[in-house]
């Protein structure tokens, strides 16, 4: 970035919330926590403000942004031909980690926010800091994850500060983002609702309100949702994910670790809690949580990727989850993005 921005740190005080809300209305950038990850916020209706988001992140311009809105009433200000299912889903899951893709009112929602599409992606965040800020600003806030494009999404204030200090105007220190995975994205503009990005709101939960098709992988063409086309969430070191029978996975990781260490590389391993004892001879060993709790693994995932990055390892070997439930599928989606689909199957 050519010109460094003076970044100010804010806290959870009434005065600082007013400062942050005013900054958003003035076209400045504000990083804040949501329940999923930290977001890099800007006024979604201000082209110049949105350009600052893309510049700070180094984000491709065809990658659409999610708009965080103060209330359901904003749907009718941003979208057209809204299906009744949108309000039913909002009533059931908002505030919360579900993003709905709707037909945009292109006279109001800038093309840059939409990634040049005819659609707009919206949600209402559940984190009290995000809710307070957006309600005080009383505008839709575009807020992709507060990291440089391609890097692991930040789930703590320190991670966001490390990535974007000097690139944004304000960062609110609001503690940790508890859920750790970005929102589920559901497209309501297709002939049948379809999940574009899996998350902690699962297909089974959505189906209690509206029948949806399972996760649709990016297959070329226009980018319909964040987190689909590009390599995402990636640590600096090359990463390999091992899947299959647990005993075979342990054996293959140990063999690969020994080979990499013999070649003079510093090796990091991401292991489930139950199997840490097998990898005591590696340079950096981090627990992913219990293999029986994909929710715990999800909450720790980006923090673990950031931590293992800081350790300066030259290769990361990670255990993958069995795809025996929908939450595991969402976690594996992020792991595969992080490793660029560099997978070893047993």
Is 43 marked as binding a ligand? no
Local structure of 38: helix, strand or coil: strand
Alpha-helix residue ranges (DSSP H) falling in 79-219: 84-93, 111-114, 128-137, 157-164, 203-206
Cis peptide, bond prior to residue 95, ω within 30 of zero: yes
Residue 130 marked ligand-binding: no
The reply to whether 153 sits in an annotated binding site is: yes
- Is 145 among the annotated ligand-binding positions? yes
CB neighbour list of residue 174: distance below 8 Å, 6 or more residues apart:
12, 32, 33, 127, 129, 157
From the list 250, 234, 330, the residue with the least C-alpha distance to 282 is 250
Is 234 labeled as ligand-binding?
no
173 among annotated binding-site residues: no
Asked whether residue 143 is marked as a ligand-binding residue, the answer is yes
Q: Give the residue from 330, 37, 335 showing the smallest Cα distance to 204.
A: 330
Place of tokens 């209402």: 124
Task: With beta carbons less than 8 A apart as the criterion, state whether 115 and 223 touch.
Answer: yes
Residue 218 annotated as lining a ligand binding site: no
Alpha-helical runs (H) found in 165-313: 203-206, 246-262, 294-310
Structural tokens at position 294? 């994909």
Query: Annotated binding site for ATP: which residue ranges?
Result: 59, 63, 119, 145, 153, 197, 233
Residues in the annotated binding site: 36, 59, 63, 68, 119, 123, 143, 145, 153, 183, 197, 233
Binding residues for L-threonine: 36, 68, 123, 143, 183
């Amino acid at each position: 970035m050519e010109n460094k921005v003076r970044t100010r740190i804010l806290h959870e005080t009434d005065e600082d919330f007013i400062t942050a809300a005013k900054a958003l209305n003035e076209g400045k950038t504000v990083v804040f926590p949501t329940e999923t990850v930290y977001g890099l916020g800007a006024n979604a209706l201000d082209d110049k403000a949105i350009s600052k988001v893309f510049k700070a992140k180094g984000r491709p311009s065809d990658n659409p942004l999610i708009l965080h809105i103060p209330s359901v009433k904003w749907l009718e200000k941003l979208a057209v031909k809204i299906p009744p299912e949108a309000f039913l889903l909002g009533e059931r899951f908002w505030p919360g980690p579900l993003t709905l893709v709707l037909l945009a009112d292109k006279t109001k929602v800038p093309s840059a926010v939409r990634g040049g599409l005819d659609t707009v992606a919206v949600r209402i965040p559940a984190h009290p800091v995000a809710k307070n800020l957006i309600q005080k600003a009383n505008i839709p806030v575009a807020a992709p994850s507060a990291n440089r494009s391609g890097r692991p999404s930040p789930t703590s204030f320190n991670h966001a500060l490390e990535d974007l200090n000097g690139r944004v105007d304000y960062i609110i220190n609001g503690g940790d983002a508890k859920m750790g995975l970005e929102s589920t994205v559901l497209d309501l503009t297709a002939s049948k609702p379809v999940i574009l990005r899996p998350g902690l709101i699962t297909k089974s939960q959505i189906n209690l309100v509206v029948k949806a098709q399972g996760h649709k992988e990016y297959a070329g063409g226009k980018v319909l949702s964040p987190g689909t086309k590009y390599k995402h969430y990636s640590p600096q070191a090359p990463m390999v994910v091992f899947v299959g029978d647990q005993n075979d996975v342990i054996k293959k990781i140990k063999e690969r670790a020994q080979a990499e260490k013999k070649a003079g590389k510093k090796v990091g391993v991401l292991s489930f809690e139950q199997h840490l004892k097998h990898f005591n001879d590696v340079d950096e060993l981090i627990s992913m949580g219990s293999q029986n709790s994909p929710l715990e693994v999800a909450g720790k995932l980006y923090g673990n990727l950031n931590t293992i990055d800081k350790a300066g390892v030259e290769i990361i070997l990670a255990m993958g989850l069995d795809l025996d439930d929908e939450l595991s599928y969402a976690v594996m989606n992020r792991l595969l993005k992080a490793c660029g689909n560099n997978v070893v199957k047993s």
